[in-house]
Structure 1
């Protein structure tokens, strides 16, 4: 992912008001991020525990999405819709994102099950156990990275659509 400045990140949000963009708390490690290992930048707001943010690059421009965690409980252990990991070391929760444009102003949202702290880029890069002799783990990791990027970009497109 391309390295982004604080100004670029704040201005990228397509489903947040100006007031909400100004109030965003950036990740604690923002200055030390390894952008090469990120397929998107995702974090939870340290001041607002139910709020999370994802920034990706869509059509050569940064696109930010503000999420709100739902407070309900999920009965069974869900699978993340983005990294599709079945051996997750972390929780998966249900987030809602206001849709962009007039649809979002009218209250339309899109829901998704995703890793609670947006750990997907690390999850897809984890080496899995060898399913059979001759299995190409590196090729599988590259495939998983590609799939993750497609899922995130498709979600960003859905949020960006106006109605």
Structure 2
């Protein structure tokens, strides 16, 4: 992924107003991100534990979505798998991320959801740059490029549902 600026990020959101995009918290360490290892930029809102954001290049243009999720419940010990990168995590490592749909459907309260790594570090898990805490990556016969293509295909399908 190419390096993004704060202006790039704020202008990319499809499921929130310009005012909401202006007020959201953009990571301050953009110049330190491992852009060559990222397929998308994902981060959590520091002041709101139930909000995350994701920005990717989809169809040749930047697409950003605001996400919400339910924090992990105490005592919930089930393992879950991310639907984007297929990494498994124990309790709280995967969350159902919901995004308000774009346009009139979103204004009516319609949302779509997908189970994703709570920290949105899918790209780093795929490349072995980050190990899932207490989780695992399955050994696959697919090459890294094929795994990345599958992950981006899964993400594109989700973004298509948000935009529809």
Normalised-by-shorter TM-score class: 0.7 to 0.9
Q: CA deviation at 1:72?
A: 6.7
Give the Cα separation in 2 of the matches to 1:130 and 1:101. 38
Give the Cα separation in 2 of the matches to 1:71 and 1:65. 19
Any conservation in 2 of the 1:56–1:153 contact (CA below 8 Å)?
no
Any conservation in 1 of the 2:55–2:64 contact (CA below 8 Å)?
yes
Alignment map for 1:100-115 (pairs within 5 Å): 100-115=102-117
Work out the number of aligned pairs and report it.
156
Give the Cα separation in 1 of the matches to 2:153 and 2:68. 22
TM-score normalised by structure 1 residue count: 0.84
Alignment map for 1:80-95 (pairs within 5 Å): 80-86=82-88, 91-95=93-97
- State the partner residue of 1:6: 6
Q: CA deviation at 1:114?
A: 0.6
* Distance change in 2, residues 1:78/1:129 (3 Å): closer
CA offsets per residue over residues 83-127 of structure 1, 9 Å max, x none?
Answer: 012367x81111110011111011000011110110100111129
Q: CA deviation at 1:10?
A: 0.3
For the pair shown, the structure with the greater C-alpha radius of gyration is: 1
Aligned CA-pair RMSD:
2.6
Unaligned runs of 5+ in 2: 130-135
Any conservation in 2 of the 1:70–1:96 contact (CA below 8 Å)?
no
